[in-house]
Amino acid sequence: MASVPATRITRPPSYSQELARLILERCSDPDTAPGGRLPTERALALDLGVTRTMVRHALSLLEADGRVSREVGRGTFLRGTQLRVAESTGRDGSGHSQVGPADVMAARRLIEPRVLPLVVAWATQRDFDELQRCLEGGATAASAVEFEDWDFALHHAIVAASRNQLLVAMYSEIEVARQGEIWGNMKQRNDTVQRRATYQDDHQRIVDALRSREVDEAVSAMEAHLERVQQNLLQSPPAETAG
Protein backbone atom coordinates (compact mmCIF):
# COMPACT_ATOMS: atom_id res chain seq x y z
CA MET A 1 0.00 0.00 0.00
CA ALA A 2 1.32 3.45 -0.87
CA SER A 3 2.38 5.70 2.01
CA VAL A 4 0.13 8.42 3.36
CA PRO A 5 0.81 11.88 1.83
CA ALA A 6 3.54 13.72 3.71
CA THR A 7 1.35 16.73 4.53
CA ARG A 8 1.57 17.49 8.25
CA ILE A 9 -0.53 19.58 10.63
CA THR A 10 1.23 22.03 12.93
CA ARG A 11 -1.39 22.08 15.72
CA PRO A 12 -4.36 19.94 16.78
CA PRO A 13 -6.81 20.59 13.91
CA SER A 14 -10.52 21.06 13.84
CA TYR A 15 -10.46 17.59 12.42
CA SER A 16 -13.82 17.43 10.70
CA GLN A 17 -12.38 19.64 7.98
CA GLU A 18 -8.63 19.72 7.81
CA LEU A 19 -7.75 16.26 9.06
CA ALA A 20 -10.69 14.50 7.41
CA ARG A 21 -9.77 15.98 4.06
CA LEU A 22 -6.15 14.92 4.44
CA ILE A 23 -7.25 11.39 5.22
CA LEU A 24 -9.52 11.38 2.19
CA GLU A 25 -6.58 12.21 -0.06
CA ARG A 26 -6.03 8.47 0.15
CA CYS A 27 -9.01 8.12 -2.18
CA SER A 28 -6.73 8.81 -5.14
CA ASP A 29 -4.74 5.65 -4.32
CA PRO A 30 -6.01 2.49 -6.11
CA ASP A 31 -5.63 0.59 -2.85
CA THR A 32 -8.22 2.85 -1.24
CA ALA A 33 -10.85 2.92 -3.95
CA PRO A 34 -14.33 2.17 -2.58
CA GLY A 35 -13.98 -0.96 -0.50
CA GLY A 36 -10.26 -0.49 0.04
CA ARG A 37 -8.75 -0.44 3.51
CA LEU A 38 -7.23 2.74 4.95
CA PRO A 39 -4.00 2.76 6.97
CA THR A 40 -4.20 2.14 10.69
CA GLU A 41 -4.93 4.95 13.15
CA ARG A 42 -1.32 4.75 14.31
CA ALA A 43 0.05 5.09 10.77
CA LEU A 44 -2.22 8.04 9.98
CA ALA A 45 -1.31 9.77 13.23
CA LEU A 46 2.43 9.38 12.64
CA ASP A 47 2.35 10.45 9.01
CA LEU A 48 -0.01 13.40 9.51
CA GLY A 49 1.67 14.66 12.68
CA VAL A 50 -1.37 14.44 14.96
CA THR A 51 -2.48 12.28 17.88
CA ARG A 52 -4.38 9.03 17.48
CA THR A 53 -7.26 10.69 19.33
CA MET A 54 -7.58 13.32 16.60
CA VAL A 55 -7.49 10.60 13.93
CA ARG A 56 -10.23 8.67 15.72
CA HIS A 57 -12.41 11.78 15.87
CA ALA A 58 -11.91 12.44 12.16
CA LEU A 59 -12.75 8.84 11.29
CA SER A 60 -15.84 8.98 13.52
CA LEU A 61 -17.13 11.98 11.61
CA LEU A 62 -16.39 10.36 8.26
CA GLU A 63 -18.13 7.20 9.44
CA ALA A 64 -21.18 9.16 10.59
CA ASP A 65 -21.36 10.78 7.17
CA GLY A 66 -21.21 7.41 5.43
CA ARG A 67 -17.82 7.89 3.78
CA VAL A 68 -15.95 5.18 5.66
CA SER A 69 -16.91 2.09 7.60
CA ARG A 70 -14.98 0.81 10.60
CA GLU A 71 -15.07 -2.90 11.35
CA VAL A 72 -13.79 -4.22 14.66
CA GLY A 73 -10.76 -6.43 14.14
CA ARG A 74 -10.50 -5.63 10.42
CA GLY A 75 -9.88 -1.91 10.01
CA THR A 76 -11.35 1.14 8.29
CA PHE A 77 -12.71 0.86 4.76
CA LEU A 78 -13.59 3.52 2.22
CA ARG A 79 -17.18 3.66 1.04
CA GLY A 80 -18.34 5.04 -2.30
CA THR A 81 -20.84 7.60 -0.98
CA GLN A 82 -20.29 11.33 -1.31
CA LEU A 83 -18.90 13.22 1.65
CA ARG A 84 -21.66 15.69 2.40
CA VAL A 85 -20.06 17.23 5.49
CA ALA A 86 -16.71 17.93 3.86
CA GLU A 87 -18.47 19.75 1.05
CA SER A 88 -20.63 21.85 3.37
CA THR A 89 -18.10 22.89 5.99
CA GLY A 90 -16.14 25.50 4.11
CA ARG A 91 -15.80 28.97 5.56
CA ASP A 92 -16.98 30.68 2.40
CA GLY A 93 -20.25 31.92 3.86
CA SER A 94 -22.31 28.92 2.74
CA GLY A 95 -24.19 26.21 4.57
CA HIS A 96 -24.25 25.62 8.31
CA SER A 97 -20.83 27.23 8.79
CA GLN A 98 -22.62 30.59 9.15
CA VAL A 99 -25.29 29.64 11.69
CA GLY A 100 -25.38 32.10 14.59
CA PRO A 101 -24.17 31.19 18.11
CA ALA A 102 -27.68 31.42 19.62
CA ASP A 103 -28.96 28.74 17.24
CA VAL A 104 -25.86 26.62 17.78
CA MET A 105 -26.31 26.73 21.54
CA ALA A 106 -30.03 25.96 21.32
CA ALA A 107 -29.24 22.83 19.32
CA ARG A 108 -26.40 21.82 21.62
CA ARG A 109 -28.63 22.14 24.69
CA LEU A 110 -31.21 19.89 23.06
CA ILE A 111 -28.77 17.14 22.09
CA GLU A 112 -25.75 17.01 24.38
CA PRO A 113 -27.43 16.46 27.78
CA ARG A 114 -29.88 13.96 26.27
CA VAL A 115 -27.13 11.80 24.81
CA LEU A 116 -25.47 11.20 28.18
CA PRO A 117 -27.68 8.28 29.33
CA LEU A 118 -26.51 6.41 26.23
CA VAL A 119 -22.90 7.25 27.04
CA VAL A 120 -23.33 5.93 30.58
CA ALA A 121 -24.88 2.75 29.18
CA TRP A 122 -22.50 2.05 26.30
CA ALA A 123 -19.16 3.84 26.75
CA THR A 124 -16.10 1.59 26.85
CA GLN A 125 -12.72 2.04 28.49
CA ARG A 126 -11.39 3.22 25.14
CA ASP A 127 -14.02 5.96 25.11
CA PHE A 128 -13.00 7.07 28.59
CA ASP A 129 -9.34 7.05 27.54
CA GLU A 130 -10.22 9.41 24.68
CA LEU A 131 -12.13 11.70 27.02
CA GLN A 132 -9.13 11.80 29.34
CA ARG A 133 -6.76 12.66 26.50
CA CYS A 134 -9.00 15.51 25.44
CA LEU A 135 -9.11 16.78 29.02
CA GLU A 136 -5.33 16.70 29.23
CA GLY A 137 -5.06 18.51 25.92
CA GLY A 138 -7.36 21.26 27.15
CA ALA A 139 -5.41 21.55 30.40
CA THR A 140 -2.16 22.21 28.55
CA ALA A 141 -3.58 24.41 25.76
CA ALA A 142 -1.47 27.53 25.34
CA SER A 143 -3.98 29.64 23.41
CA ALA A 144 -7.69 30.18 22.85
CA VAL A 145 -7.48 28.47 19.45
CA GLU A 146 -5.76 25.39 20.86
CA PHE A 147 -8.22 25.19 23.75
CA GLU A 148 -11.15 25.42 21.33
CA ASP A 149 -9.73 22.52 19.32
CA TRP A 150 -9.56 20.33 22.42
CA ASP A 151 -12.99 21.53 23.59
CA PHE A 152 -14.38 20.56 20.18
CA ALA A 153 -12.68 17.16 20.39
CA LEU A 154 -13.99 16.47 23.89
CA HIS A 155 -17.61 17.21 23.09
CA HIS A 156 -17.39 15.12 19.94
CA ALA A 157 -15.87 12.23 21.91
CA ILE A 158 -18.74 12.41 24.41
CA VAL A 159 -21.37 12.14 21.68
CA ALA A 160 -19.41 9.43 19.85
CA ALA A 161 -19.31 7.40 23.08
CA SER A 162 -23.09 7.01 22.82
CA ARG A 163 -22.43 4.44 20.08
CA ASN A 164 -25.43 5.85 18.20
CA GLN A 165 -24.38 6.73 14.67
CA LEU A 166 -27.58 8.63 13.92
CA LEU A 167 -26.94 10.95 16.87
CA VAL A 168 -23.31 11.36 15.81
CA ALA A 169 -24.48 12.29 12.30
CA MET A 170 -26.99 14.81 13.67
CA TYR A 171 -24.34 16.29 15.95
CA SER A 172 -21.96 16.68 13.02
CA GLU A 173 -24.22 19.47 11.74
CA ILE A 174 -23.62 21.35 14.99
CA GLU A 175 -19.89 20.76 14.58
CA VAL A 176 -20.04 22.30 11.12
CA ALA A 177 -21.57 25.45 12.61
CA ARG A 178 -18.99 25.53 15.42
CA GLN A 179 -16.25 25.76 12.80
CA GLY A 180 -17.89 28.71 11.04
CA GLU A 181 -16.61 32.25 11.07
CA ILE A 182 -19.44 33.64 13.21
CA TRP A 183 -18.89 31.13 16.01
CA GLY A 184 -15.11 31.56 15.87
CA ASN A 185 -15.31 35.34 16.09
CA MET A 186 -17.70 35.22 19.03
CA LYS A 187 -15.56 32.71 20.93
CA GLN A 188 -12.39 34.74 20.46
CA ARG A 189 -14.12 38.00 21.40
CA ASN A 190 -15.40 36.50 24.64
CA ASP A 191 -12.32 34.49 25.57
CA THR A 192 -10.37 34.93 28.80
CA VAL A 193 -7.88 32.70 30.58
CA GLN A 194 -10.25 32.54 33.56
CA ARG A 195 -13.13 31.37 31.38
CA ARG A 196 -11.00 28.64 29.85
CA ALA A 197 -10.12 27.44 33.34
CA THR A 198 -13.80 27.41 34.31
CA TYR A 199 -14.73 25.46 31.19
CA GLN A 200 -11.95 23.00 31.97
CA ASP A 201 -13.39 22.46 35.45
CA ASP A 202 -16.82 21.91 33.89
CA HIS A 203 -15.35 19.35 31.51
CA GLN A 204 -13.68 17.51 34.35
CA ARG A 205 -16.96 17.26 36.28
CA ILE A 206 -18.79 15.93 33.23
CA VAL A 207 -16.16 13.30 32.50
CA ASP A 208 -15.88 12.26 36.16
CA ALA A 209 -19.64 11.73 36.32
CA LEU A 210 -19.66 9.71 33.10
CA ARG A 211 -16.76 7.57 34.28
CA SER A 212 -18.65 6.89 37.53
CA ARG A 213 -21.80 6.06 35.51
CA GLU A 214 -23.70 8.77 37.41
CA VAL A 215 -26.14 9.81 34.72
CA ASP A 216 -28.08 12.46 36.69
CA GLU A 217 -24.88 14.14 37.79
CA ALA A 218 -23.48 14.04 34.27
CA VAL A 219 -26.64 15.59 32.79
CA SER A 220 -26.68 18.30 35.46
CA ALA A 221 -23.00 19.12 34.87
CA MET A 222 -23.48 19.28 31.10
CA GLU A 223 -26.55 21.52 31.36
CA ALA A 224 -24.71 23.88 33.71
CA HIS A 225 -21.71 23.97 31.37
CA LEU A 226 -23.76 24.75 28.27
CA GLU A 227 -25.69 27.43 30.16
CA ARG A 228 -22.39 29.03 31.13
CA VAL A 229 -21.06 28.88 27.57
CA GLN A 230 -24.24 30.44 26.21
CA GLN A 231 -24.21 33.29 28.72
CA ASN A 232 -20.57 34.04 27.98
CA LEU A 233 -21.05 33.93 24.21
CA LEU A 234 -24.09 36.16 24.06
CA GLN A 235 -23.13 38.80 26.61
CA SER A 236 -20.90 41.82 25.96
CA PRO A 237 -17.17 41.06 25.57
CA PRO A 238 -15.22 41.00 28.86
CA ALA A 239 -12.83 43.79 29.74
CA GLU A 240 -10.00 41.25 30.12
CA THR A 241 -8.89 39.43 26.98
CA ALA A 242 -6.86 36.27 26.99
CA GLY A 243 -3.20 36.63 26.23
Q: What is the pLDDT of residue 183?
A: 67
Cβ(34)–Cβ(171) below 8 Å:
no
Q: Give the chain's residues under pLDDT 50.
A: 1-13, 15-16, 30, 81-95, 240-243
Q: Which residues lie closer than 8 Å to 73 by C-beta, 6 or more apart?
A: none
Q: Average pLDDT of the chain?
A: 78
Question: What is the per-residue pLDDT for 136?
Answer: 92
Confidence (pLDDT) at 227: 96
H or E stretch including 71?
strand 68-71
Question: What is this structure's pTM?
Answer: 0.65
In the prediction, which pLDDT does 93 show?
39
Environment class of 155 (CB within 10 Å of its CB; exposed 0-12, middle 13-18, buried 19+)? buried
Q: How far apart are CA 127 and CA 20, in angstroms?
A: 20
Give all domains of the chain, ordered by start, each with its CATH number. Answer: 18-84 (1.10.10.10), 94-234 (1.20.120.530)
